[in-house]
Amino acid sequence: MQRSVGVVVPAYRPDVERLVEYVDRIAERLSPATIRVELDAPRSEVVAALADTPATVATAPYRRGKGRAITAGFEALDTDVLAFADDDGSTPADSFAAVVRPVVEDEADLAVGSRRHPDSPMGHHRTFGRRRLGDAFAWLARRLVEPSLYDYQCGAKAVSRAAWNELREHLYEPGFAWDVELVAIAGALGQRVVEVPVEWHDQPDSTVSPVGTSLALARGVLAARHRAGLIHESRLHGAIDARRAEQSRLVETHGPDRP
C-alpha cells in the first residue's frame, strides 16, 4: 500500500509569487495528501494569495522560528510520511520528490536533502561568503554528531510517522539548528538515515542572516551533541544536564498562542 505524504512549508515574510508557484509545483509533482504552510507573522496579501493553492494555511502572529513551525506542522499531520521544504523553493520540486521517495518506499526512516553531496547536480551557487560559512558548519557538525553527512541544513527532509513518534520527544531547538538536532537524534536512536543529492537554487533575498545564523548553528550543534549523548546515557552528558536549567521540548511549546 502506498504511504500517504504530508508536506509542511515553514514561511516567514516569503516572496508571495515564489511561494505560490512552489506550493503548486509540490502539489503537481508529489500529489501529497496535505500541504500545510506554517506562516509566521502573516501579511494579509500572503494569506489571500495562498487561498487559491492546494495548501492549508496555519498562522502564528509572531516569528516562531523554523524548528518550532515545522514541529507544529508535523504534529498537525496525520499522514504516514512527514516532509518539509523551505518556502523559497531553493530545492526544486523534482529534487524534493527524490528526498521523500526513500521514506515512502521504506528504505529510510529519515531522508536528508544534500546540496554538498558529490552527486548533487550543479544549481545556482550561493555567494562566496555564505558558501564558506555553510562549509565550516558542515565540517564542524561532521566531527561532533552522528551520522556523518555532507549537508545537515538543506531545507528538504522527510521522516516516517514511526520515526517522528520517537524523535519528537527529544527536539528542543526552535530555530535553524532544528535540522542538525533532528539528524543527531535520529542517529542516536539508531534510525536509518539516508542523504539524498539535490539540486539547489540559492535565493539572494533570503531573510536569513549568514553570520548570526552561523553562530546560532554552532551553538545548536553543541546542544545536539549533548542531547544525543543523553540518549546514549553518557555519564558526562548526564552530569552536564544535571547542572543545566530545564528546557521545554518543542512539542510542549508549539501552540499558536505561545511566543
Provide the b/e sequence for 79-91 (b: ≥16 CB within 10 Å): bbbbbbbbbbbbb
Q: Specify whether the CB–CB gap between 74 and 165 falls below 8 A.
A: no
**How far apart are the C-alpha atoms of 9 and 6, rounded to whole Å?**
10
pLDDT of residue 123: 55
Encode pLDDT of 165-193 as tens digits: 999 999 999 998 999 999 999 999 999 99
Question: What is the spatial distance between Cα 94 and Cα 203, in angstroms, rounded to a whole number?
Answer: 18
Closest by CA to 69, choosing from 161, 149, 142, 175, is 175
Asked whether the whole model's pTM tops 0.75, one would answer yes
pLDDT at 259: 47
pLDDT tens-digit readout, 47-101: 999 999 999 999 999 999 999 999 999 999 999 999 999 999 999 999 999 999 9
Query: Which pLDDT tens digit goes with each residue over 25-44?
Result: 999 999 999 999 999 999 99
Q: What is the pLDDT of residue 254?
A: 60
- What cell numbers appear for 147 in the block? 551520522
pLDDT in tens, 234-247: 655 555 555 565 67
Q: Where does the chain have alpha helices with state H?
A: 16-30, 44-50, 66-76, 93-104, 128-144, 161-167, 178-188, 210-231, 235-243
Nearest in space to 89 (alpha carbons), one of 40, 36, 34, 19: 19
